[in-house]
Amino acid sequence: MFEPRITDTVQGIIKDYIYEGDVVIDATVGNGFDTVFLAEQVGENGEVYGFDIQDIAIEQTKIRLNQRKLMDRVTLIKDSHENINKYVKSSVKAAMFNLGYLPKGDKKIITKPESTIKSIEQIIDMLESNGLISIISYYGHEGGKEEKDVVELYLGELNNKKYDVITVKYENRKMNAPIIYLVRKK
Ligand SMILES: C[S@@+](CC[C@H](N)C(=O)[O-])C[C@H]1O[C@@H](n2cnc3c(N)ncnc32)[C@H](O)[C@@H]1O
């Protein structure tokens, strides 16, 4: 039986918003699973911009993309996603965030509230109509709860005439189960 992980759930949702030729962003590349997924969705005429502050994440993702011959449509950038404006000059159809630390990596290197919000703000400005931003918040680690609260506050104040903001969460799991936030531009 297929047991979807939370990342599969998000991919299943965002898939419907992405078409061949679209420009999309992976704001937290990590091990590159979402980058590969996005590269497959946009096809050979699309473009994926992937951001991470760690060399290891960029390198691992490059390997993963090359193995699948997908590197031609991906630009990997070793910089904070708060600087997305510097690199992405077009509108975007979708963006994915996976907050927290790199699985199997240095657990002290985590996404931070201020840069996460700056990045979301910039992407919201670039988002096309019926474009989607997905954010998975893992917040069991130190600093995670603060980031989750800041993200929640920010998203909760977005103008509902312009954006739909939806939260998907587990009701039957113990503390700190990850939460999905979805922002759709109307
Ligand atoms: C939970 S992991 C991402 C997992 C990834 N989506 C995957 O499919 O494997 C979070 C990543 O965010 C990165 N990160 C932390 N702060 C960042 C920032 N300011 N800008 C971009 N990436 C950042 C970390 O280095 C880490 O690799």
Q: Which residues pair with 50 in a beta bridge?
A: 26, 76
Sheet holding 163-169, edge to edge: 74-78, 47-52, 23-26, 92-98, 127-137, 179-185, 163-169
Compute the distance between CA of residue 81 and CA of residue 118 in angstroms, rounded to an integer: 8
At residue 3, the pLDDT reads 82
**Sequential pLDDT tens for the chain (186 residues):** 788 899 999 999 999 999 999 999 999 999 999 999 999 999 999 999 999 999 999 999 999 999 999 999 999 999 999 999 999 999 999 999 999 999 999 999 999 999 999 999 999 999 999 999 999 999 999 999 999 999 999 999 999 999 999 999 999 988 899 999 999 999
Ligand 1 geometric centre to CA of 119 (Å): 13
- Selecting from 3.40.50.300, 3.40.640.10, 3.40.50.150, 3.40.1390.10, what CATH number does the domain 6-185 have? 3.40.50.150
At residue 149, the pLDDT reads 97
Compute the distance between CA of residue 169 and CA of residue 125 in angstroms, rounded to an integer: 26
Compute the distance between CA of residue 17 and CA of residue 62 in angstroms, rounded to an integer: 25
Compute the distance between CA of residue 61 and CA of residue 110 in angstroms, rounded to an integer: 18
Ligand 1 geometric centre to CA of 81 (Å): 9
At residue 109, the pLDDT reads 97
Q: Which run of H or E residues covers position 132?
A: strand 127-137
Give the residue, out of 9, 28, 49, with the most ligand 1 atoms within 8 A of its beta carbon, to mutate for a pocket test: 28
Ligand 1 geometric centre to CA of 73 (Å): 20
Read off the amino acid at residue 127.
Answer: L
Q: Which protein residue has the closest C-alpha to ligand 1 atom 9? A: 31
Specify the pTM.
0.97
At residue 1, the pLDDT reads 77
Nearest atom (ligand 1) to Cα of 80: 20
Are the CB atoms for 44 and 52 separated by under 8 Å? Answer: no
Give me the residue spans of the domains in the chain: 6-185
At residue 63, the pLDDT reads 98
Compute the distance between CA of residue 122 and CA of residue 27 in angstroms, rounded to an integer: 11
At residue 175, the pLDDT reads 85
